[in-house]
A and B are shown apart, each in its own frame.
Chain A
Amino acid sequence: MSSTTQQMTLDQVPVGKPVTVVRVGGEKVTRRRLLDMGLVSGETVIVQGVAPLGDPINILVKSYSLALRKREACQITVEVQV
Protein backbone atom coordinates (compact mmCIF):
# COMPACT_ATOMS: atom_id res chain seq x y z
CA MET A 1 0.00 0.00 0.00
CA SER A 2 1.29 3.37 -0.88
CA SER A 3 -0.97 5.36 1.44
CA THR A 4 0.65 7.13 4.35
CA THR A 5 -0.54 7.02 7.91
CA GLN A 6 -0.97 9.71 10.47
CA GLN A 7 -1.06 9.36 14.26
CA MET A 8 -3.53 11.10 16.52
CA THR A 9 -5.43 10.42 19.70
CA LEU A 10 -8.81 8.73 19.59
CA ASP A 11 -10.74 11.79 20.83
CA GLN A 12 -9.78 13.63 17.64
CA VAL A 13 -10.90 10.97 15.21
CA PRO A 14 -13.92 11.96 13.11
CA VAL A 15 -17.07 9.86 13.28
CA GLY A 16 -17.13 6.89 10.93
CA LYS A 17 -13.44 6.67 10.12
CA PRO A 18 -11.75 3.33 10.87
CA VAL A 19 -8.49 3.68 12.77
CA THR A 20 -5.95 1.29 14.25
CA VAL A 21 -4.85 1.37 17.87
CA VAL A 22 -1.15 2.00 18.26
CA ARG A 23 -0.66 2.51 21.97
CA VAL A 24 -2.68 2.95 25.16
CA GLY A 25 -1.27 5.19 27.86
CA GLY A 26 -2.59 6.86 30.97
CA GLU A 27 -2.81 5.96 34.61
CA LYS A 28 -2.50 2.33 35.47
CA VAL A 29 -6.17 1.67 36.27
CA THR A 30 -7.41 3.44 33.16
CA ARG A 31 -4.92 1.76 30.91
CA ARG A 32 -5.69 -1.64 32.38
CA ARG A 33 -9.42 -1.16 31.83
CA LEU A 34 -8.95 -0.04 28.26
CA LEU A 35 -6.69 -2.98 27.50
CA ASP A 36 -9.08 -5.43 29.15
CA MET A 37 -11.91 -4.09 27.03
CA GLY A 38 -9.96 -5.03 23.94
CA LEU A 39 -8.25 -1.77 22.99
CA VAL A 40 -4.93 -3.45 22.34
CA SER A 41 -2.48 -2.39 19.69
CA GLY A 42 -3.43 -3.43 16.19
CA GLU A 43 -7.14 -3.40 16.93
CA THR A 44 -9.43 -1.55 14.50
CA VAL A 45 -11.79 1.02 16.02
CA ILE A 46 -14.53 3.22 14.58
CA VAL A 47 -16.00 6.24 16.36
CA GLN A 48 -19.76 5.70 16.03
CA GLY A 49 -21.01 8.86 17.63
CA VAL A 50 -20.64 11.60 20.20
CA ALA A 51 -23.06 12.27 23.08
CA PRO A 52 -25.30 15.33 22.64
CA LEU A 53 -23.39 17.42 25.17
CA GLY A 54 -20.17 16.56 23.38
CA ASP A 55 -18.53 14.29 25.83
CA PRO A 56 -18.58 10.60 26.01
CA ILE A 57 -17.93 9.10 22.61
CA ASN A 58 -19.28 5.80 21.37
CA ILE A 59 -16.83 3.56 19.59
CA LEU A 60 -17.11 0.20 17.87
CA VAL A 61 -14.35 -2.19 18.93
CA LYS A 62 -14.29 -5.98 18.54
CA SER A 63 -17.80 -5.59 17.12
CA TYR A 64 -19.36 -4.16 20.28
CA SER A 65 -20.16 -0.61 21.34
CA LEU A 66 -18.09 1.04 24.01
CA ALA A 67 -18.61 4.48 25.55
CA LEU A 68 -15.69 6.43 26.96
CA ARG A 69 -15.02 9.98 27.98
CA LYS A 70 -12.68 12.10 25.92
CA ARG A 71 -10.36 12.12 28.88
CA GLU A 72 -9.94 8.37 28.43
CA ALA A 73 -9.98 8.54 24.64
CA CYS A 74 -7.05 10.95 24.56
CA GLN A 75 -4.90 8.27 26.15
CA ILE A 76 -5.31 6.10 23.09
CA THR A 77 -2.96 6.76 20.21
CA VAL A 78 -4.31 5.62 16.87
CA GLU A 79 -3.19 5.50 13.29
CA VAL A 80 -5.29 6.81 10.41
CA GLN A 81 -4.83 6.09 6.75
CA VAL A 82 -4.66 9.34 4.82
Chain B
Amino acid sequence: MTQERNYTPNTGGDRSIHLVGHVGRVVGCCRDLLGGCVRALAGSGGHCCGQPEGSVMGCTGGSVIALAGNPNTGKSTIFNALTGSHQHVGNWPGKTVEQKAGILKHDGQEIVVVDLPGTYSLSACSLEEQIARDFIVKAHPRVVVNVLDSTNLERNLYLTAQILEIGVPMIIVLNMRDLAEARGITIDIHRLAQQLYNTPVISVAASREQGLAELKQTIATFMTPQPQVACRLDLVA
Protein backbone atom coordinates (compact mmCIF):
# COMPACT_ATOMS: atom_id res chain seq x y z
CA MET B 1 0.00 0.00 0.00
CA THR B 2 1.67 3.14 -1.11
CA GLN B 3 0.93 6.62 0.00
CA GLU B 4 0.21 7.63 -3.55
CA ARG B 5 -2.86 5.46 -3.71
CA ASN B 6 -4.25 6.79 -0.49
CA TYR B 7 -6.38 9.83 -0.21
CA THR B 8 -4.36 12.87 0.71
CA PRO B 9 -5.78 16.35 0.86
CA ASN B 10 -3.08 17.65 -1.44
CA THR B 11 -3.35 15.03 -4.09
CA GLY B 12 -2.84 17.65 -6.71
CA GLY B 13 0.73 17.95 -5.58
CA ASP B 14 2.01 14.55 -6.47
CA ARG B 15 -0.16 13.99 -9.51
CA SER B 16 0.91 17.14 -11.20
CA ILE B 17 4.57 16.90 -10.51
CA HIS B 18 5.29 15.88 -14.07
CA LEU B 19 3.33 18.67 -15.56
CA VAL B 20 3.59 21.64 -13.35
CA GLY B 21 6.93 22.70 -14.69
CA HIS B 22 5.50 23.32 -18.10
CA VAL B 23 3.45 26.41 -17.83
CA GLY B 24 2.53 26.21 -21.46
CA ARG B 25 1.33 22.72 -21.08
CA VAL B 26 -0.70 23.54 -18.06
CA VAL B 27 -2.31 26.40 -19.86
CA GLY B 28 -2.96 24.13 -22.79
CA CYS B 29 -4.61 21.74 -20.42
CA CYS B 30 -6.62 24.51 -18.95
CA ARG B 31 -8.26 25.24 -22.20
CA ASP B 32 -8.97 21.59 -22.24
CA LEU B 33 -10.28 21.76 -18.77
CA LEU B 34 -13.46 22.95 -20.33
CA GLY B 35 -13.38 20.02 -22.65
CA GLY B 36 -11.56 16.99 -21.33
CA CYS B 37 -11.54 16.83 -17.60
CA VAL B 38 -14.68 18.53 -16.75
CA ARG B 39 -16.52 16.70 -19.45
CA ALA B 40 -15.43 13.40 -18.01
CA LEU B 41 -16.18 14.68 -14.54
CA ALA B 42 -19.52 16.22 -14.85
CA GLY B 43 -20.62 13.33 -17.00
CA SER B 44 -22.31 10.39 -15.38
CA GLY B 45 -20.24 10.42 -12.25
CA GLY B 46 -17.09 9.59 -14.21
CA HIS B 47 -14.28 8.11 -12.19
CA CYS B 48 -11.83 10.63 -13.41
CA CYS B 49 -9.29 10.61 -10.71
CA GLY B 50 -9.26 6.87 -10.50
CA GLN B 51 -7.66 6.90 -13.91
CA PRO B 52 -3.94 6.40 -14.26
CA GLU B 53 -1.74 9.42 -14.50
CA GLY B 54 -1.27 10.92 -17.86
CA SER B 55 -5.00 11.22 -18.12
CA VAL B 56 -6.46 14.68 -18.18
CA MET B 57 -6.79 14.58 -14.45
CA GLY B 58 -3.08 15.00 -14.17
CA CYS B 59 -3.34 18.55 -15.29
CA THR B 60 -6.33 19.62 -13.27
CA GLY B 61 -4.69 19.14 -9.93
CA GLY B 62 -1.76 21.06 -11.33
CA SER B 63 -2.64 24.71 -11.05
CA VAL B 64 -6.38 24.76 -10.75
CA ILE B 65 -8.26 26.60 -8.07
CA ALA B 66 -12.03 26.82 -7.67
CA LEU B 67 -14.29 29.58 -6.41
CA ALA B 68 -17.19 28.27 -4.36
CA GLY B 69 -19.85 30.01 -2.33
CA ASN B 70 -23.51 30.88 -1.96
CA PRO B 71 -25.19 32.71 -4.85
CA ASN B 72 -24.72 36.49 -4.85
CA THR B 73 -21.71 36.53 -2.58
CA GLY B 74 -19.45 38.10 -5.21
CA LYS B 75 -17.80 35.01 -6.71
CA SER B 76 -18.06 36.32 -10.24
CA THR B 77 -16.81 39.74 -9.20
CA ILE B 78 -13.77 38.10 -7.63
CA PHE B 79 -13.38 35.79 -10.60
CA ASN B 80 -13.31 38.76 -12.97
CA ALA B 81 -10.88 40.64 -10.77
CA LEU B 82 -8.53 37.65 -10.65
CA THR B 83 -8.62 36.64 -14.28
CA GLY B 84 -9.16 39.92 -16.14
CA SER B 85 -9.85 39.20 -19.74
CA HIS B 86 -8.35 35.72 -19.80
CA GLN B 87 -11.62 33.90 -19.64
CA HIS B 88 -13.55 31.18 -21.29
CA VAL B 89 -17.29 30.98 -20.91
CA GLY B 90 -19.22 27.90 -21.87
CA ASN B 91 -21.64 25.42 -20.44
CA TRP B 92 -20.84 22.53 -18.18
CA PRO B 93 -20.79 19.59 -20.54
CA GLY B 94 -24.26 18.40 -21.30
CA LYS B 95 -25.73 20.84 -18.84
CA THR B 96 -27.33 24.19 -19.26
CA VAL B 97 -25.40 25.57 -16.33
CA GLU B 98 -22.94 28.27 -17.31
CA GLN B 99 -19.33 27.37 -16.77
CA LYS B 100 -16.54 29.90 -16.45
CA ALA B 101 -12.83 29.32 -16.31
CA GLY B 102 -10.05 31.86 -16.56
CA ILE B 103 -6.37 32.31 -16.01
CA LEU B 104 -4.83 34.19 -13.12
CA LYS B 105 -1.30 35.39 -13.80
CA HIS B 106 0.70 35.86 -10.67
CA ASP B 107 4.47 36.18 -10.49
CA GLY B 108 4.87 34.46 -13.83
CA GLN B 109 2.65 31.60 -12.75
CA GLU B 110 -0.50 30.77 -14.62
CA ILE B 111 -3.28 29.50 -12.44
CA VAL B 112 -6.58 28.27 -13.77
CA VAL B 113 -9.54 29.68 -11.87
CA VAL B 114 -12.92 27.97 -12.16
CA ASP B 115 -16.02 29.88 -11.09
CA LEU B 116 -18.31 27.19 -9.69
CA PRO B 117 -22.09 27.63 -9.71
CA GLY B 118 -23.37 29.35 -6.58
CA THR B 119 -24.82 26.88 -4.06
CA TYR B 120 -26.03 26.94 -0.49
CA SER B 121 -24.96 23.40 0.14
CA LEU B 122 -23.10 20.51 -1.45
CA SER B 123 -25.85 17.94 -0.95
CA ALA B 124 -25.98 17.20 -4.69
CA CYS B 125 -29.74 17.79 -4.63
CA SER B 126 -29.67 20.19 -7.56
CA LEU B 127 -27.68 20.29 -10.75
CA GLU B 128 -25.57 23.19 -9.52
CA GLU B 129 -24.75 21.46 -6.27
CA GLN B 130 -23.81 18.32 -8.10
CA ILE B 131 -21.50 20.18 -10.47
CA ALA B 132 -19.84 22.11 -7.66
CA ARG B 133 -19.38 19.05 -5.49
CA ASP B 134 -18.08 16.82 -8.26
CA PHE B 135 -15.57 19.44 -9.23
CA ILE B 136 -14.27 19.94 -5.70
CA VAL B 137 -14.16 16.24 -4.91
CA LYS B 138 -12.97 14.82 -8.20
CA ALA B 139 -10.89 17.46 -9.93
CA HIS B 140 -8.67 18.04 -6.89
CA PRO B 141 -8.23 21.79 -7.19
CA ARG B 142 -5.13 23.02 -5.39
CA VAL B 143 -7.31 25.17 -3.22
CA VAL B 144 -10.98 26.04 -2.97
CA VAL B 145 -11.57 29.74 -2.47
CA ASN B 146 -14.77 29.88 -0.45
CA VAL B 147 -16.42 33.27 -0.89
CA LEU B 148 -18.76 34.39 1.89
CA ASP B 149 -21.04 37.35 2.33
CA SER B 150 -19.83 39.05 5.53
CA THR B 151 -23.33 40.29 6.24
CA ASN B 152 -24.70 36.77 6.41
CA LEU B 153 -22.15 34.45 7.98
CA GLU B 154 -24.81 32.48 9.84
CA ARG B 155 -25.93 30.90 6.61
CA ASN B 156 -22.78 31.16 4.50
CA LEU B 157 -20.64 29.20 6.94
CA TYR B 158 -22.77 26.10 6.40
CA LEU B 159 -21.19 25.57 2.99
CA THR B 160 -17.80 26.23 4.53
CA ALA B 161 -18.42 23.43 7.01
CA GLN B 162 -19.24 21.10 4.14
CA ILE B 163 -16.16 22.02 2.13
CA LEU B 164 -14.08 21.51 5.24
CA GLU B 165 -15.45 18.00 5.48
CA ILE B 166 -14.35 17.15 1.96
CA GLY B 167 -10.83 17.76 3.14
CA VAL B 168 -9.67 19.98 0.32
CA PRO B 169 -7.37 22.96 1.06
CA MET B 170 -9.41 26.12 1.44
CA ILE B 171 -9.13 29.89 1.65
CA ILE B 172 -11.99 31.77 3.26
CA VAL B 173 -12.82 35.09 1.64
CA LEU B 174 -15.13 37.32 3.65
CA ASN B 175 -16.53 39.55 0.91
CA MET B 176 -18.78 42.62 1.17
CA ARG B 177 -16.63 44.01 3.93
CA ASP B 178 -17.93 47.49 3.08
CA LEU B 179 -21.53 46.46 3.69
CA ALA B 180 -20.70 44.70 6.94
CA GLU B 181 -18.88 47.78 8.16
CA ALA B 182 -21.77 50.02 7.20
CA ARG B 183 -24.09 47.85 9.25
CA GLY B 184 -21.80 47.81 12.21
CA ILE B 185 -21.01 44.12 11.94
CA THR B 186 -17.52 43.15 13.03
CA ILE B 187 -15.89 39.79 12.47
CA ASP B 188 -12.92 38.50 14.42
CA ILE B 189 -11.08 36.91 11.56
CA HIS B 190 -8.19 35.59 13.63
CA ARG B 191 -10.63 33.74 15.81
CA LEU B 192 -12.51 32.49 12.76
CA ALA B 193 -9.31 31.17 11.19
CA GLN B 194 -8.38 29.47 14.41
CA GLN B 195 -11.79 27.85 14.80
CA LEU B 196 -11.62 26.63 11.24
CA TYR B 197 -8.42 24.69 11.81
CA ASN B 198 -6.14 27.50 10.64
CA THR B 199 -7.71 28.00 7.28
CA PRO B 200 -6.52 31.38 5.98
CA VAL B 201 -9.23 34.03 6.22
CA ILE B 202 -9.13 37.24 4.19
CA SER B 203 -11.60 40.04 4.31
CA VAL B 204 -12.24 41.85 1.02
CA ALA B 205 -14.60 44.23 -0.74
CA ALA B 206 -14.42 42.80 -4.22
CA SER B 207 -16.49 45.41 -6.02
CA ARG B 208 -14.17 48.09 -4.59
CA GLU B 209 -11.11 46.02 -5.40
CA GLN B 210 -10.02 46.01 -1.76
CA GLY B 211 -8.11 43.06 -0.40
CA LEU B 212 -7.62 41.37 -3.74
CA ALA B 213 -3.82 41.68 -3.78
CA GLU B 214 -3.73 39.83 -0.53
CA LEU B 215 -6.02 37.17 -1.89
CA LYS B 216 -3.73 36.64 -4.87
CA GLN B 217 -0.76 36.32 -2.57
CA THR B 218 -2.53 33.79 -0.41
CA ILE B 219 -3.52 31.79 -3.47
CA ALA B 220 0.11 31.82 -4.58
CA THR B 221 1.23 30.20 -1.32
CA PHE B 222 -0.90 27.22 -2.26
CA MET B 223 0.71 27.02 -5.68
CA THR B 224 4.31 26.57 -4.61
CA PRO B 225 5.26 22.98 -5.18
CA GLN B 226 4.19 20.95 -2.21
CA PRO B 227 6.93 19.24 -0.25
CA GLN B 228 6.97 15.87 -1.91
CA VAL B 229 9.15 14.33 0.75
CA ALA B 230 6.44 12.36 2.44
CA CYS B 231 5.23 10.72 -0.73
CA ARG B 232 8.68 10.07 -2.08
CA LEU B 233 9.88 8.55 1.16
CA ASP B 234 6.86 6.42 1.25
CA LEU B 235 7.45 5.24 -2.27
CA VAL B 236 11.03 4.41 -1.48
CA ALA B 237 10.14 2.59 1.69
Q: Which residues from chain A sit less than 8 Å from chain B, CB to CB?
A: 29, 32-33, 36-38, 62-64
Q: How many residues of B contact A (CB 8 A)?
A: 9
A-B contact pairs, 13 of them (CB 8 A): A29-B125, A32-B123, A33-B125, A36-B120, A36-B123, A36-B125, A37-B120, A37-B155, A38-B154, A62-B154, A62-B155, A63-B152, A63-B154
Cα A62 to Cα B151 in complex, Å, equals: 11
Query: Looking at chain B's contact residues, is the secondary structure mostly helix, strand, loop, or mixed?
Result: helix
Residue numbers in B under 8 Å from A62 (CB-CB) = 152, 154-155
- What's the nearest-Cβ distance from chain B to residue A74, in Å? 20
Cα A82 to Cα B155 in complex, Å, equals: 29
Task: Annotate B132-163 by CB proximity to A: 1 below 8 A, 0 otherwise.
Answer: 00000000000000000001101100100000
- What's the nearest-Cβ distance from chain A to residue B126, in Å? 8
Residue numbers in B under 8 Å from A37 (CB-CB) = 120, 155
Q: Which residue of B lies closest to A64 (CB)?
A: B152
- What's the nearest-Cβ distance from chain B to residue A14, in Å? 25
Query: Of A29, A32, A33, A38, which is within 8 A of B155 by CB?
Result: A38
- What's the nearest-Cβ distance from chain A to residue B117, in Å? 15
